[in-house]
Amino acid sequence: MTRPGGRSARVRDAVHDAVVELLAAGEIDAAIPRIAERAGVNPTSIYRRWGSRDHLLLDAAVTRLRATSPIPDTGSLHGDLRGWAEGVERAMRDPRGQILLRALVATMSPDEKPLEYLRARGDDLQATLDKAAARGEPVPSVDEVLDFVLAPLYLRVLFRRPAEPGTGARLVERLLMALPADPAPRAGRGG
Amino acid sequence: MTRPGGRSARVRDAVHDAVVELLAAGEIDAAIPRIAERAGVNPTSIYRRWGSRDHLLLDAAVTRLRATSPIPDTGSLHGDLRGWAEGVERAMRDPRGQILLRALVATMSPDEKPLEYLRARGDDLQATLDKAAARGEPVPSVDEVLDFVLAPLYLRVLFRRPAEPGTGARLVERLLMALPADPAPRAGRGG
DNA sequence: GAGTTAAGGCAAGTGTGTTTGCTTTAGGAT
DNA sequence: ATCCTAAAGCAAACACACTTGCCTTAACTC
């Protein structure tokens, strides 16, 4: 990527778009020539850049999901987590979000270290929690947020149906409700 | 399957075994001829029976996962859920369990109705909860068990690393701890 | 604006996954 | 024991994804 912002970026975006559209349209095993056609690009360009369909899918999923639902800064932990959870929930009600999450799970190598995507999210989360702790608010651990807010939202999408509106907010409320009023730093659950 | 228990079943098991072994060994995109070779079976048999690689993977995953970690009957809800959660946790520490869960997520059609596999689990869970309620114990809803016990265990496997020993038991304890002492039927969370 | 060079496009060649018609085998039925 | 039929095996034809060498385009640099 020594030439950012030019033709290279255009092709990359067009290919990512094509992947998302095709998957969302139900062509879940569209091969590279089909994706290239949809993107208005030569198949060779895809083979040369991504090498395999799985690498392309993983790249598209990570890139696109990373842009989704950042953690807001509302001034209170409750507001931050609630805004974030609602964003995740909304993204997971979009068929494209669903398919991207599924593609991510499908193409991640099982022995992969904690995926960069989720690690970055964990870091963001930690920063948000740190700020809240500095304000004197009682805070959960990152693990608790992932276990009791993100996990239910994701599991519902992957195995059942997308969470109904309000689920994210309810999960956040339940988690924060369970915290001790004392803002002493909590012993993490060991992740 | 009009001829259960004979050659047909042997071939099916051999093919399922081959799938699990190959996936667990890292050959995640082993094609059908490769699976057939490993199973000691003719590729045509696989094409005729399953039609596509995805159908085969889904069938193998559902079949094998269904046999894993049933809910025990210990006489107390706490014991039942704890035994089950520990079983799930253990299955997810096995590379074959991990890969099967991943294959399941990857090959499920996104618009699939709640997957038969998880629906059956939900029914088992409901039966366990009903028994406990009949004994006068306070019980959570099926949704709560899925959200706060199964979801964290699955998410950790899919995105991070398998849960450490004791995680399942701790999740169950936390859930039951949060219940009101009054065993009145709880209003479900609407799933 | 001319030069430099990744990256994209093109086209021909190659391999392998998939299909299909036919034959053989093995379980169950009579 | 013999018949019957689904399912498995076999082999040849087929299709198409993938590779590769070469040429062209376009973006950054001086």
DSSP string, A41-71: S-HHHHHHHH-SHHHHHHHHHHHHHHTS-PP
Q: Worst-scoring range by mean pLDDT, A105-119, B94-108, B143-157?
A: A105-119
Does B188 score more than 70 pLDDT?
A: no
Decide if B146 contacts B122 (C-beta within 8 A): yes
Overall average pLDDT of the B2-11 stretch: 72
Given pLDDT bands bounded at 50, 70 and 90, which one contains residue B2? very low
The whole-number pLDDT of residue B114 equals: 62
| Residue B187, pLDDT above cutoff 70 | no
Q: Does B28 touch chain A (CB under 8 A)?
A: yes
Are residues A115 and B159, on separate chains, in Cβ contact within 8 Å?
yes
Nucleotide nearest to B3 (CA to C1'): C27
Which tokens in the block code for residue A131? 């700020």
A84-87: long-range contacts (C-beta < 8 A, 24 or more apart)? A84/A128, A85/A149, A85/A153, A85/A168, A85/A169, A85/A171, A85/A172, A86/A168, A86/A169
pLDDT in tens, B32-78: 999 999 999 999 999 999 999 999 999 999 999 988 889 999 999 99
Nearest-CA residue to the C1' of D27?
Answer: A6
Distance CA A21, CA A96 (A): 8
Of A99, A148, A151, the CB nearest to B110: A99
> Using CA atoms, how far apart are residues A137 and A185, in angstroms rounded to an integer?
10
| Residue A90 pLDDT | 96
Residue A58's CB is within 10 A of a number of other CB atoms, namely: 21
How far apart (Å, rounded) are the C-alpha atoms in residues A10 and A137? 45
- Cβ within 8 Å of residue B38, ≥6 positions away: B18, B21, B22, B30
How far apart (Å, rounded) are the C-alpha atoms in residues B36 and A73? 55
Q: Which of B54, B107, B118 sits opposite A159 (nearest CB)?
A: B118
Q: Is the CB of B6 under 7 A from strand C?
A: yes
CA Rg value for chain B = 19
Q: Does residue B153 register a pLDDT over 70? A: yes
Q: With a 7 Å cutoff on the CB, does B2 touch strand D?
A: yes
**CA–CA separation, B87 and B130 (whole Å):** 21
- DSSP-derived 3-state class of residue B70: coil
Structure-block tokens of residue A32: 């590279």
Tell me if A169 sits within 8 A of A85, measured CB to CB.
yes
With a pLDDT cut of 90, the percent of chain A lying above it is 77
**In contact, A98 and A92? CB cutoff 8 Å:** yes
pLDDT, tens digit (0-9, with 9 covering 90-100), for A113-154: 667 778 888 999 999 999 999 999 999 999 999 999 999 999
CB of B1 within 7 Å of some strand D atom: yes
Question: What average pLDDT values come out for chain A (191 residues) when binned by 10 residues?
Answer: 67 96 93 97 97 95 90 97 97 94 90 76 95 97 97 95 96 94 51 35
In the structure, what pLDDT confidence band is assigned to residue B191 with cuts at 50, 70 and 90? Answer: very low
Asked if A68 CB < 7 A from strand C, the reply is: no
Q: Report pLDDT for A114.
A: 62
**Distance between CA atoms of B146 and A151, rounded to whole angstroms?**
10
Minimum Cα–Cα distance from B166: chain A residue: A189
Choose, out of B144, B155, B164, B175, the residue to mutate when testing the contact with A (most A CBs < 10 Å).
B155
- Better-scored residue on pLDDT, B6 or A132: A132
Does B28 score more than 60 pLDDT?
yes
